[in-house]
A and B are shown apart, each in its own frame.
Chain A
Amino acid sequence: MAVLVQQADFDLAAELAQLGGSDGTAGAVISFTGLVRGDSDLHALELEHYPAMTTAALEQIEQAARKRWGLVDVRIIHRFGRLELGAQIMMVAVSAPHRRAAFEAADYIMDYLKSRAPFWKKEHSTQGTAWVDAKLEDEDDLARWSS
Protein backbone atom coordinates (compact mmCIF):
# COMPACT_ATOMS: atom_id res chain seq x y z
CA MET A 1 0.00 0.00 0.00
CA ALA A 2 1.40 3.33 -1.01
CA VAL A 3 -1.09 5.33 1.09
CA LEU A 4 -1.14 5.06 4.88
CA VAL A 5 -3.40 6.89 7.34
CA GLN A 6 -2.17 6.29 10.85
CA GLN A 7 -1.79 7.67 14.35
CA ALA A 8 1.77 6.37 14.72
CA ASP A 9 4.87 8.31 13.73
CA PHE A 10 6.89 7.29 10.67
CA ASP A 11 10.54 7.00 9.74
CA LEU A 12 11.23 8.97 6.56
CA ALA A 13 14.49 7.12 5.82
CA ALA A 14 12.74 3.74 6.09
CA GLU A 15 9.93 4.96 3.84
CA LEU A 16 12.37 6.26 1.22
CA ALA A 17 14.19 2.91 1.31
CA GLN A 18 10.90 1.23 0.35
CA LEU A 19 10.11 3.67 -2.45
CA GLY A 20 10.31 2.01 -5.85
CA GLY A 21 12.75 3.24 -8.47
CA SER A 22 16.18 2.21 -7.18
CA ASP A 23 16.24 -0.54 -9.82
CA GLY A 24 17.26 2.05 -12.39
CA THR A 25 13.79 3.17 -13.46
CA ALA A 26 13.85 6.45 -11.47
CA GLY A 27 16.28 9.31 -11.85
CA ALA A 28 14.83 11.54 -9.14
CA VAL A 29 13.32 11.18 -5.67
CA ILE A 30 11.58 14.05 -3.87
CA SER A 31 10.14 13.93 -0.38
CA PHE A 32 8.19 16.46 1.65
CA THR A 33 7.49 16.22 5.39
CA GLY A 34 5.04 18.50 7.22
CA LEU A 35 5.77 19.34 10.87
CA VAL A 36 3.75 20.93 13.70
CA ARG A 37 5.02 24.54 13.76
CA GLY A 38 4.79 26.61 16.93
CA ASP A 39 2.91 29.71 15.79
CA SER A 40 1.28 31.94 18.44
CA ASP A 41 1.83 29.81 21.55
CA LEU A 42 0.70 26.66 19.79
CA HIS A 43 1.77 23.54 21.63
CA ALA A 44 -0.13 20.80 19.80
CA LEU A 45 -2.35 20.06 16.83
CA GLU A 46 -5.24 17.65 16.89
CA LEU A 47 -6.12 16.08 13.54
CA GLU A 48 -9.57 14.69 12.96
CA HIS A 49 -10.37 12.77 9.78
CA TYR A 50 -13.18 10.89 8.03
CA PRO A 51 -11.98 7.28 8.23
CA ALA A 52 -14.46 5.95 5.65
CA MET A 53 -13.25 8.49 3.09
CA THR A 54 -9.62 9.34 3.86
CA THR A 55 -7.74 6.48 2.26
CA ALA A 56 -9.82 6.58 -0.93
CA ALA A 57 -9.36 10.35 -1.21
CA LEU A 58 -5.57 10.03 -0.84
CA GLU A 59 -5.44 7.16 -3.35
CA GLN A 60 -7.38 9.25 -5.85
CA ILE A 61 -4.81 12.07 -5.51
CA GLU A 62 -1.98 9.55 -5.81
CA GLN A 63 -3.43 7.96 -8.95
CA ALA A 64 -3.96 11.32 -10.62
CA ALA A 65 -0.33 12.30 -9.94
CA ARG A 66 1.03 8.94 -11.13
CA LYS A 67 -0.87 9.25 -14.38
CA ARG A 68 -0.06 12.91 -15.05
CA TRP A 69 3.70 12.68 -14.42
CA GLY A 70 4.40 9.01 -15.22
CA LEU A 71 5.77 8.46 -11.72
CA VAL A 72 7.67 5.33 -10.82
CA ASP A 73 6.35 5.23 -7.24
CA VAL A 74 4.50 7.29 -4.63
CA ARG A 75 4.25 6.95 -0.86
CA ILE A 76 1.89 9.10 1.20
CA ILE A 77 1.58 8.87 4.98
CA HIS A 78 -0.82 11.16 6.86
CA ARG A 79 -1.18 11.02 10.64
CA PHE A 80 -4.21 11.82 12.77
CA GLY A 81 -4.80 12.35 16.49
CA ARG A 82 -2.91 14.68 18.81
CA LEU A 83 0.51 15.80 17.53
CA GLU A 84 2.89 17.82 19.70
CA LEU A 85 5.09 20.71 18.62
CA GLY A 86 7.72 19.55 16.13
CA ALA A 87 5.96 16.27 15.39
CA GLN A 88 5.76 14.93 11.84
CA ILE A 89 2.22 15.36 10.44
CA MET A 90 2.55 13.79 7.01
CA MET A 91 4.95 12.87 4.25
CA VAL A 92 4.89 12.50 0.51
CA ALA A 93 7.66 10.79 -1.42
CA VAL A 94 7.71 10.39 -5.18
CA SER A 95 10.15 8.84 -7.61
CA ALA A 96 10.16 9.72 -11.30
CA PRO A 97 12.39 9.34 -14.32
CA HIS A 98 13.26 13.06 -14.21
CA ARG A 99 13.67 15.84 -11.65
CA ARG A 100 10.99 18.25 -12.83
CA ALA A 101 8.27 15.60 -12.87
CA ALA A 102 9.21 14.59 -9.32
CA PHE A 103 9.14 18.18 -7.99
CA GLU A 104 5.87 19.02 -9.73
CA ALA A 105 4.14 15.80 -8.68
CA ALA A 106 5.11 16.32 -5.02
CA ASP A 107 3.86 19.92 -5.18
CA TYR A 108 0.58 18.80 -6.79
CA ILE A 109 0.01 16.07 -4.20
CA MET A 110 0.61 18.58 -1.38
CA ASP A 111 -1.84 21.09 -2.88
CA TYR A 112 -4.52 18.42 -3.09
CA LEU A 113 -3.82 17.05 0.39
CA LYS A 114 -4.39 20.56 1.77
CA SER A 115 -7.93 20.94 0.55
CA ARG A 116 -9.20 17.59 -0.80
CA ALA A 117 -8.09 15.13 1.88
CA PRO A 118 -10.71 14.91 4.67
CA PHE A 119 -8.61 16.11 7.60
CA TRP A 120 -9.35 18.95 10.00
CA LYS A 121 -6.78 20.55 12.27
CA LYS A 122 -7.49 21.96 15.70
CA GLU A 123 -4.85 24.11 17.36
CA HIS A 124 -4.13 23.78 21.05
CA SER A 125 -2.39 26.88 22.40
CA THR A 126 -2.09 28.79 25.65
CA GLN A 127 -5.16 30.75 24.46
CA GLY A 128 -7.29 27.59 24.27
CA THR A 129 -8.34 25.62 21.20
CA ALA A 130 -9.40 26.73 17.72
CA TRP A 131 -10.15 24.96 14.44
CA VAL A 132 -7.79 25.96 11.63
CA ASP A 133 -9.66 27.72 8.81
CA ALA A 134 -8.94 26.72 5.24
CA LYS A 135 -7.25 29.52 3.30
CA LEU A 136 -8.60 31.04 0.12
CA GLU A 137 -5.14 30.56 -1.39
CA ASP A 138 -5.59 26.79 -0.99
CA GLU A 139 -8.21 26.85 -3.75
CA ASP A 140 -5.98 29.09 -5.89
CA ASP A 141 -3.24 26.52 -5.44
CA LEU A 142 -5.51 23.84 -6.91
CA ALA A 143 -6.47 26.06 -9.83
CA ARG A 144 -2.79 26.09 -10.86
CA TRP A 145 -3.11 22.45 -11.92
CA SER A 146 -6.27 22.68 -13.99
CA SER A 147 -4.56 24.01 -17.12
Chain B
Amino acid sequence: MSLNVVYFAWLRERIGEPSEMIETNAPTVAALVTELRAREERYDLAFSDLDAVRVAVDQTLVDFDAPLDGVREVAFFPPMTGG
Protein backbone atom coordinates (compact mmCIF):
# COMPACT_ATOMS: atom_id res chain seq x y z
CA MET B 1 0.00 0.00 0.00
CA SER B 2 0.96 3.61 -0.47
CA LEU B 3 1.12 5.78 2.64
CA ASN B 4 1.59 9.50 3.02
CA VAL B 5 3.98 9.87 5.95
CA VAL B 6 4.30 13.32 7.51
CA TYR B 7 6.71 14.65 10.12
CA PHE B 8 6.57 17.66 12.39
CA ALA B 9 8.93 19.71 14.57
CA TRP B 10 12.30 18.09 15.31
CA LEU B 11 11.27 14.85 13.59
CA ARG B 12 10.78 16.83 10.38
CA GLU B 13 14.16 18.50 10.86
CA ARG B 14 16.02 15.25 11.59
CA ILE B 15 14.46 13.38 8.69
CA GLY B 16 14.91 16.38 6.43
CA GLU B 17 11.50 16.52 4.77
CA PRO B 18 7.94 17.37 5.81
CA SER B 19 6.30 14.41 4.07
CA GLU B 20 6.89 11.52 1.69
CA MET B 21 4.95 8.75 -0.02
CA ILE B 22 6.06 5.34 1.20
CA GLU B 23 5.29 1.93 -0.29
CA THR B 24 4.96 -0.55 2.54
CA ASN B 25 3.25 -3.72 3.68
CA ALA B 26 3.83 -2.93 7.34
CA PRO B 27 0.79 -4.16 9.30
CA THR B 28 1.21 -1.70 12.18
CA VAL B 29 2.74 1.68 12.99
CA ALA B 30 5.47 -0.11 14.97
CA ALA B 31 6.35 -2.25 11.92
CA LEU B 32 6.49 0.88 9.75
CA VAL B 33 8.88 2.50 12.24
CA THR B 34 11.11 -0.61 12.11
CA GLU B 35 11.15 -0.42 8.30
CA LEU B 36 11.98 3.28 8.30
CA ARG B 37 14.79 2.84 10.86
CA ALA B 38 16.39 0.17 8.68
CA ARG B 39 16.41 2.51 5.67
CA GLU B 40 18.88 5.21 6.60
CA GLU B 41 20.67 6.58 9.60
CA ARG B 42 18.59 9.79 9.71
CA TYR B 43 15.44 7.71 10.31
CA ASP B 44 17.22 5.52 12.81
CA LEU B 45 18.27 8.62 14.78
CA ALA B 46 14.87 10.29 14.54
CA PHE B 47 13.11 7.19 15.93
CA SER B 48 15.78 6.17 18.45
CA ASP B 49 13.67 7.22 21.46
CA LEU B 50 10.04 6.30 20.83
CA ASP B 51 9.01 7.66 24.25
CA ALA B 52 9.58 11.08 22.68
CA VAL B 53 7.48 10.35 19.58
CA ARG B 54 3.71 10.49 19.12
CA VAL B 55 1.79 9.14 16.15
CA ALA B 56 -1.51 9.88 14.43
CA VAL B 57 -3.13 7.79 11.70
CA ASP B 58 -5.51 9.67 9.44
CA GLN B 59 -5.30 12.60 11.89
CA THR B 60 -6.26 10.61 14.99
CA LEU B 61 -3.80 9.97 17.84
CA VAL B 62 -3.05 6.27 18.24
CA ASP B 63 -0.57 3.92 19.91
CA PHE B 64 2.34 2.34 18.07
CA ASP B 65 0.54 -1.00 17.85
CA ALA B 66 -2.26 0.56 15.74
CA PRO B 67 -2.99 -1.28 12.47
CA LEU B 68 -2.28 0.42 9.12
CA ASP B 69 -4.92 -1.43 7.12
CA GLY B 70 -6.87 1.14 5.09
CA VAL B 71 -4.85 4.05 6.47
CA ARG B 72 -3.84 6.88 4.11
CA GLU B 73 -1.73 9.15 6.28
CA VAL B 74 0.61 8.52 9.20
CA ALA B 75 2.04 11.48 11.12
CA PHE B 76 5.00 11.38 13.50
CA PHE B 77 5.71 14.22 15.90
CA PRO B 78 6.99 15.03 19.40
CA PRO B 79 4.52 15.52 22.29
CA MET B 80 2.38 18.55 21.47
CA THR B 81 3.04 21.96 22.98
CA GLY B 82 -0.04 24.02 22.19
CA GLY B 83 -1.72 26.73 24.21
* Chain A residues with CB below 8 A from B56, complex form: 50, 53, 118
Please determine whether A120 and B77 come into contact, CB atoms closer than 8 angstroms: yes
Residue of B12, B77, B79, B83 ringed by the most chain A CB atoms within 10 A: B83
Q: How far is the CA of A133 from the CA of B8 in the complex (A)?
A: 14
Interface size class of B (residues with CB under 8 A): 10 to 19
Residues 69-83 (chain B) with a chain A CB within 8 angstroms: 73, 75, 77-83
A125 close to B (CB within 8 Å) = no
Contacts between chains A and B (CB distance < 8 A), count: 68
Q: Are B82 and A78 in contact (CB under 8 A)?
A: yes
User: In the complex, A48→B9 CA distance in Å?
Assistant: 7
Name A134's contact: one of B73, B75, B78 (CB within 8 Å).
B78
Residue-by-residue, is A111-143 near B (CB-CB < 8 Å gives 1, otherwise 0)? 001111111111000000001111000100000
Q: Does A52 contact B (CB under 8 A)?
A: yes
What residues of A have a CB within 8 angstroms of the CB of B83 in the complex?
A: 34, 89-90, 110, 113-114, 117, 119
- Expressed in whole angstroms, the Cα–Cα distance for A50 and B77 within the complex equals 10
A90 and chain B: residue at smallest CB distance: B83
- List of A residues within 8 angstroms of B78 by Cβ: 120, 131, 133-134
Interface residues of B in 1-35 (CB under 8 A from A): 6, 8-10, 12
Q: Of all chain A residues, which has the CB nearest B10?
A: A131
Q: How far is the CB of A108 from chain B (nearest CB, A)?
A: 12
Shortest B50–chain A CB gap in Å is 15
Task: Output the least CB separation between A58 and chain B (Å).
Answer: 9
Chain A residues, Cβ within 8 Å of B73: 52
Does A87 touch B at the CB level, under 8 Å? no
What is B's interface to A at a CB cutoff of 8 Å?
6, 8-10, 12, 56, 59, 61, 73, 75, 77-83
Q: Which residues of chain A have a CB within 8 Å of any CB of chain B?
A: 34, 48-50, 52-53, 56-57, 78, 89-90, 110, 113-122, 131-134, 138
